Amino acid sequence: MLTPPYIIDLPSLLEINLVMSLVFFILAISLISLILYLRVHKNFRNQRKDKLEVLLIDFINNYLFNEDFDKPNEINRFIKNQLKTTLDKKVATKQLLVYAENLKGESSAVIKEIFYGFGLYNFLIQDLTQKEWYRQARALNVAYQLDMDIPMDLVDSFINAKNKEVRQQAFLYLIHRSTDNPLGFLDKVTTPLTLWEQIHIENGLKTYEGVPPDFSRWLYHKLTSVVVFNLKMIADYNQYQHIPILLKFLNHKDLEIRLQTIISLRKMEAPEMIPILVENFSKENPQIKKEILITLGEIGLEEQLKSVAPFILQEELDLRVSYLKIARHLNPGGAKEEIDDFKKITMLQA
């Protein structure tokens, strides 16, 4: 059979256009099909989740409050009929967490009993051993919320995990499960603590029921972030016995540590720091100079404030404003004289 001459004679450019049009048509159809499939799949999952949540609520309520409920047989039946997929186990775990957050005492212990009965503990351990960070973080959070025992060597492996969320959840779990050393994991920390991690640790300590740790134990940690955190905690927990150590840290080579030391000592209202601050003022950068001025305004004397005025440079406008505000606070009646004196002192620098 001969090929029609009007196809053979098509220009090459037109042939290319026809092929490309066909390719784009196929891609468009494929994309539309994929979108439809994902939408149908998502709707199916949502329907399954909604149905399973209702079944779980009914099951848990019966397990908690129905004395005639045949617990062993009903658990086996529920596992066989409902907990077949990973999605089912995730939904069951989430629903049990909702109950755990709102129940205390014996009822909370029953929720753990259901968790074990459903075989979700093995699912939790499986998540902990997976590579995906979100599965690890989720499993650690579940273990923390349900107060569950999991292998400590496995938890320790997350202390320096690459993902911040995993580290945070590991810290919370270790604090919660500790009986006498809630911050012991800091000895193993080799990754700098982020601000959010420090906040999580601080919040975890607020719910810790044991004796607060001696935060001075980590003042010589190799990580600045760990030292800064414990300097803050010393002040927050009023561990005044460590003031002599903190006074030495006013001359620490690390700027961030010096800064937090000033803030912590000021919070503990330690007047012993004032002579050191006055002596160091001229050598410090504007950020620390400002903290020194604030400290002098809160626990210092007017004479001590005046002694640092010559070391405030003309270009340090923010410090000049701070100085005048603090001077006005210490000597409200002599505000005008303070301003005049300060102007004279700084004019000598020009």
pLDDT-derived band at 256, boundaries 50, 70, 90: very high
> 249, 310, 318, 254: which is closest to 277 by C-alpha?
249
Maximum distance among all Cα pairs of the chain, rounded to whole angstroms: 113
Query: Is residue 251 a contact partner of residue 281, using CB atoms and an 8 Å limit?
Result: no
The CA distance from 166 to 270, in Å, is 38
Three-state secondary-structure class, residue 168: helix
Do the domain assignments include residue 151?
no
Q: Which of 9-18, 175-184, 225-234 is modeled with the greatest confidence? A: 225-234
Query: Is residue 259 a contact partner of residue 288, using CB atoms and an 8 Å limit?
Result: yes
pLDDT beyond 90 at 332: no
> Which residues form the domain of 227?
214-268
pLDDT for 39 equals 78
Give the Å distances, CA to CA, from 146 to 48, 59, 115, 116, 216: 25, 19, 9, 11, 32
One domain, residues 289 and 336: yes
Query: Is residue 294 a contact partner of residue 327, using CB atoms and an 8 Å limit?
Result: no
pLDDT-derived band at 41, boundaries 50, 70, 90: low
Do the domain assignments include residue 178?
no
One domain, residues 287 and 257: no
Q: Tens of pLDDT along 153-164?
A: 999 999 999 999
One domain, residues 264 and 287: no
Q: Tens of pLDDT along 46-92?
A: 788 889 999 999 999 999 999 899 999 999 999 999 998 999 999 99
One domain, residues 224 and 258: yes
One domain, residues 262 and 287: no
Q: DSSP label at 190?
A: -
Task: Return the ∠ at Cα 232 (arms to 227 and 233), rounded to 5°.
Answer: 95
Do the domain assignments include residue 51?
no
Do the domain assignments include residue 241?
yes
Share of the chain above pLDDT 90, in %: 68
Q: Residue 301, Cβ neighbours under 10 Å: how many?
A: 12
pLDDT beyond 50 at 348: no
pLDDT beyond 90 at 349: no
Q: Residue 115, Cβ neighbours under 10 Å: how many?
A: 22
Work out the burial of residue 350: count CB atoms within 10 Å of its CB; fewer than 13 is exposed, 13-18 middle, 19 or more buried.
exposed
Backbone angles phi, psi at 44, to 5 degrees: -65, -45
Work out the burial of residue 92: count CB atoms within 10 Å of its CB; fewer than 13 is exposed, 13-18 middle, 19 or more buried.
buried
Do the domain assignments include residue 287?
yes
Do the domain assignments include residue 320?
yes
Q: What is the amino acid identity at position 88? A: D
**Average pLDDT of the segment spanning 119-143:** 94
Place of tokens 């911040």: 164
One domain, residues 317 and 347: yes
Q: How many domains does the chain have?
A: 2
Place of tokens 């300097």: 231
Do the domain assignments include residue 253?
yes
